[in-house]
Every structure is written in structure tokens, then in C-alpha cells.
């Protein structure tokens, strides 16, 4: 490919423009080509073939070094820390995809969801109450999965404390070197992380069974690696699934006929398509970053070592050939015969760093949405002219309420 277009030379000016409307900014940039240099040394990669190359090149050509918490597990695959991290991921992936474990967990999750739907029945519930309730549901769900029979009641609050501490850093459009980061915020993160690490380590060594921590310990992983993987899992599954579920509710809330279809014969297949389409249109974890570890050729052009690469699943899901003609529309029926190419559908990333909890997340979404639709009919009510999207953390819908009726609409 030829030299990518350069959007601007002032990082500060473009970062301010980006911060005023992140999704629109990136979608406009992607219209210029599969790779666009946003400012010198920082690239948006949105073409599905190029995205695939970046994702499969993780740990080798492209390093995951931009996550504040993962400095110890980022870098080249040849490093000892990354090798240990990948071993932890392999053990966690097997536990999070265990069919029997997922089925047992689904029973408890369905029970908890039914209790929540009962509290919503006959009410109009605001967006803030909806997301707060779903975050409690999903944080308690992943905590139970991680620690099994142990009493881990303190964990959701400690995880939320760490996420709140991280927010000023992760929400900023500026990626600053560690020595330039605002020190009070940095110290708050470290304090919150220590508190969560201490609690997780204590629980992982406590008597109990049937938890992810037990699977990791049985894989002969050092305690510190077990703690690191558990924390990574807790943070990833704390708020992200709640946002995904809420997006599914929003899309279903304007489609009563689709809700009826989900309750009818063949509803399981339709629900799977709703989950896939929700993750395509509204992937909560909508941005990931990589650093080029070496000079990397893309056709006739070469990306220089040290370049920062941004991949947005929200953008790629809209511009990839399989989806482009209706990329902004919610169409679950497309998944009856859709066959996206590699790199076109990446709600869980891809390559060696893909999300190890993908099957868990999909099962959680389908269970919660399925129970909500089985027990109620939802009708969305917008607060203004259009739905709002909070882009600051995970993609979350705002500016609406949801009315919950009995399944027959009464």
C-alpha cells in the first residue's frame, strides 16, 4: 500500500477534536483509508486485513504496552513475564470456556436476573439505575465464577474502586509517559491495586472449590500470576458485560416483534444472532492499542518501530466489506448467513491476545437478555431527540428510560 494520509501535525489539537466526539472522529478518519496517520507516529488501522495483521502480530511485531496495569505482562513473547502471562491465559481460557462450569453458572445467573426483572416489572426504569443494576449483577457473577464457594463479598467494591481510580487515566485522549502522569492519580491507582491484590491473594489461598482461582492454582502457576490473572478477569468482566447487555436491551426495547420472536419457537437461534449483532454494532471495549516493535512493511510502505497503533472494533465493524452497506444498522438477521473475513468481526480482539472470556461473555449476555425477554416486554423511551453514547470508558447508552410490561404487553 502507499504512504497513509496524515490527518494533522498537532497531536494536542487533534486530541482535543477527538475528545469532542471520539467515534465520529475515528469513523471520518477511516474513510480516508485502511491505515491513517492521525498525527506523526500514531496510526488508526481500520481495514480488516490490516487489523488482522496487527492482532496476529501481537507479542511479536506489535506489543501490548499501553495498558496501565499490564506493564509486567507486556512486551515481546520471548520475555519471561510474557511467557508466564500466556501460560496463565491458557489456563484461564480453558476454565472460562468449560461447558459444565458455564451451565452450572448459568443457573445461578438466571435466578439472579429473574429477581432483578421482578423488581423492574410494571415500572419505568432510568438509564442510570439500569446500568448500575447490571454492573452489580455482572460483577457478582464474575466474582462467583472466580472464587467458587469462597465468601468474596468484598471483591466487587474493590474492583470498582480500582476502575474509578483508573478512569482519569484511561479516559484521557492523551497517552503520557509514566514519568509525566499526574502523581496523585497514579498513587490512587497503586493503592487501589494493592488493596485488590491483597484480597485476591488471601481468597486464592483460602479453603474452597469450584473457582477460576482453583483452576489456575492446579496449573502450577505462582500465586502472583494467579492474582494477576484473576484481577485482569475481574476488571474485564466488571462493567463491560453490563454495557453490552444494556445495548441489547436498548435495541430490543424498540422492537417488540423481535422480543416476541425470541420468546417463540426457535428463539434460541434468534437470541444468538441478537448477541452477535449487539457486539458488532456496540462493542463495549471499542478500542485497543499496540506499539510497533520493529519496522513493519505494509506493501510499499513501512511503519516505523515505536509507532502507536489504534484499532477500533466499532469503526472496523462499520467499514468492513461484509457489513459496510448497512454497518450502522441493527440487523440480527444478517447473522443467518454472514461469514465475515478475518479481522472484520473483532468484539473480543484477536490473535494471541484475544479475550479469554469470550465464551463466558456471550453466555452471560444470552442468559441475561433471554431471561429479561422471557419475563417481560421492554419499550424504550428516549429523554431527548436521540440516544446518547458515553464514549469515556466502555461504550454505554444514555438518555433514555425503559418501561417493563408483562410479556403480553399488559
Using one digit for the tens of pLDDT, what is the confidence trace for 332-368? 999 999 999 999 999 999 999 899 999 999 999 999 9
Whole-prediction pTM: 0.93
Q: Map residue 296 onto helix, strand or coil.
A: strand
Note the pLDDT of residue 392.
82
Contact 88, 226 (CB under 8 A): yes
Tell me the torsion sign for CA atoms 173, 181, 170, 386: negative
**Is 406 among the domain residues?**
no
CB 228 within 8 A of CB 84: no
Virtual CA dihedral for 233, 393, 61, 43, nearest 10 degrees?
Answer: 170
Note whether residue 68 is domain-resident.
yes
The verdict on residue 119 lying in a domain is yes
H-assigned helices in 254-357: 256-263, 267-281, 313-319
Tell me which residue has cell 416483534. Answer: 257
What's the pLDDT at 75? 54
pLDDT given for residue 179 in this prediction? 44
Residue 6 lies in a domain: no
Pair 359, 351: CB distance under 8 Å: no
Q: Taking a C-beta distance cutoff of 8 angstroms, is the pair 32, 7 a contact?
A: yes
The pLDDT of residue 291: 92
Let me know how many helices (H) and strands (E) the chain has, helices first: 15, 12
* pLDDT at res. 59: 79
Q: Are 295 and 307 in contact (CB under 8 A)?
A: no
Are the beta carbons of 219 and 91 closer than 8 angstroms? yes
Residue whose C-alpha cell reads 494533522 in the numeric block: 8
Q: DSSP readout, 66-127?
A: --GGGGGG-S-TTSHHHHHHHHHHHHHHHHHT-HHHHHHHHHHHHHHHHHHHHHHTT-EEEH
What is the Cα 374 distance to its own chain's centre? 26
Q: What is the DSSP string of 154-192?
A: THHHHHHHHHHHHHHHHT-S----GGGS-HHHHHHHHHH
Place of cell 453466555: 363
- Please, what is the angle between helix 155-170 and helix 183-204, to 10°? 150
Question: Residue 80's pLDDT is what?
Answer: 78
> Does a structural domain hold residue 5?
no
Whether 409 maps to a domain, the answer reads no
Tally of CB atoms within 10 A around 131? 20
Rounded Cα gap, residues 129 and 127, in angstroms: 6
> Which CA distances in Å does 192 have to 155, 165, 171, 216, 351?
12, 7, 18, 23, 31
C-alpha distances (whole Å) from 62 to each of 30, 191, 310 are 20, 30, 11
Structure confidence at residue 184 (pLDDT): 60
Q: Is residue 188 part of a domain?
A: yes
**233 to each of 65, 181, 226, how far by Cα in Å?**
18, 25, 11
Local confidence pLDDT in tens for the 410 residues of the chain: 678 998 887 777 887 888 889 999 999 999 999 999 998 999 999 999 999 999 999 878 998 865 555 555 555 555 777 788 889 999 999 999 999 999 999 999 999 999 999 999 999 999 999 999 999 999 999 999 999 999 999 999 999 999 998 887 676 655 544 444 445 667 888 899 999 999 999 999 999 999 999 999 999 999 999 999 999 999 999 889 999 999 999 999 999 999 999 999 778 899 999 999 999 999 999 999 999 999 999 988 999 999 999 999 999 999 999 999 999 999 999 999 999 999 999 999 999 989 999 999 999 999 999 999 999 999 999 999 999 999 988 999 999 999 999 988 77
Q: Say how many domains are in the chain.
A: 1
Q: How far apart are CA 366 and CA 355, in angstroms?
A: 18
* Per-residue confidence (pLDDT) for residue 84, from 0 to 100: 85
CA dihedral 280, 286, 292, 296 (to 10 degrees): 30
Ramachandran angles phi, psi of 187, nearest 5°: -65, -35
Q: How far is 358 from 54, CA to CA, in rounded Å? A: 19
In a domain, 2, yes or no: no
Q: Domain holding 15: CATH number?
A: 1.10.630.10
Residues shown for the chain = 410
C-alpha 170/C-alpha 189 separation (Å) is 11
Domain that holds residue 158: 11-401
pLDDT at 356: 94
Nearest to 312 by CA among 291, 286, 292: 286
Amino acid at each position: 500500500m502507499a504512504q497513509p494520509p496524515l490527518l494533522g501535525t498537532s497531536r494536542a489539537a487533534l486530541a482535543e477534536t477527538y475528545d469532542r466526539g471520539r467515534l465520529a472522529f475515528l469513523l471520518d478518519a477511516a474513510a480516508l483509508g485502511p491505515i491513517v496517520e492521525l498525527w506523526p507516529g500514531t496510526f488508526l488501522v481500520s481495514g480488516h486485513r490490516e487489523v488482522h495483521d496487527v492482532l496476529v502480530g501481537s507479542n511479536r511485531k506489535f506489543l501490548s504496552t499501553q495498558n496501565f496495569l499490564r506493564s509486567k505482562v507486556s512486551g515481546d513473547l520471548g520475555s519471561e513475564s510474557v511467557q508466564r502471562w500466556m501460560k496463565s491465559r491458557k489456563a484461564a481460557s480453558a476454565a472460562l470456556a468449560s461447558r459444565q462450569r458455564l451451565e452450572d453458572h448459568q443457573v445461578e445467573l438466571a435466578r439472579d436476573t429473574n429477581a432483578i426483572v421482578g423488581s423492574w416489572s410494571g415500572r419505568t426504569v432510568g438509564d442510570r439505575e439500569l446500568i448500575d443494576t447490571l454492573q452489580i449483577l455482572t460483577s457478582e457473577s464474575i466474582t462467583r465464577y472466580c472464587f467458587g464457594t469462597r465468601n468474596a463479598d468484598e471483591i466487587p467494591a474493590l474492583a470498582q474502586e480500582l476502575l474509578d481510580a483508573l478512569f482519569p487515566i484511561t479516559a484521557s485522549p492523551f497517552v503520557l509517559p509514566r514519568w509525566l502522569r499526574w502523581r496523585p492519580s497514579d498513587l490512587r491507582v497503586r493503592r487501589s491495586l494493592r488493596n485488590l491484590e491483597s484480597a485476591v491473594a488471601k481468597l486464592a489461598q483460602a479453603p474452597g472449590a469450584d473457582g477460576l482461582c482453583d483452576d489456575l492454582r492446579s496449573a502450577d502457576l505462582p500465586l502472583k500470576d494467579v492474582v494477576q490473572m484473576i484481577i485482569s478477569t475481574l476488571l474485564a468482566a466488571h462493567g463491560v458485560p453490563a454495557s453490552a447487555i444494556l445495548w441489547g436491551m436498548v435495541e430490543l426495547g424498540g422492537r417488540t416483534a423481535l422480543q416476541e420472536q425470541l420468546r417463540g419457537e426457535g428463539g434460541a437461534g434468534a437470541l444468538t444472532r441478537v448477541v452477535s449483532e449487539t457486539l458488532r454494532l456496540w462493542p463495549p471495549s471499542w478500542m485497543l492499542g499496540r506499539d510497533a516493535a520493529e519496522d513493519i512493511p505494509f506493501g510499499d510502505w513501512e511503519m516505523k518501530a515505536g509507532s502507536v497503533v489504534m484499532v477500533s472494533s466499532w469503526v472496523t465493524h462499520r467499514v468492513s466489506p461484509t457489513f459496510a452497506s448497512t454497518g450502522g444498522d441493527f440487523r440480527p438477521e444478517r447473522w443467518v448467513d454472514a461469514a465475515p473475513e478475518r479481522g472484520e468481526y473483532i468484539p473480543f480482539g484477536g490473535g494471541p491476545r484475544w479475550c479469554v472470556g469470550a465464551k463466558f461473555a456471550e453466555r452471560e449476555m444470552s442468559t441475561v437478555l433471554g431471561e429479561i425477554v422471557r419475563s417481560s416486554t421492554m419499550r424504550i423511551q428516549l429523554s431527548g431527540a436521540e440516544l446518547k453514547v458515553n464514549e469515556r470508558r466502555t461504550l454505554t447508552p444514555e438518555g433514555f428510560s425503559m418501561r417493563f410490561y408483562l410479556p403480553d404487553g399488559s
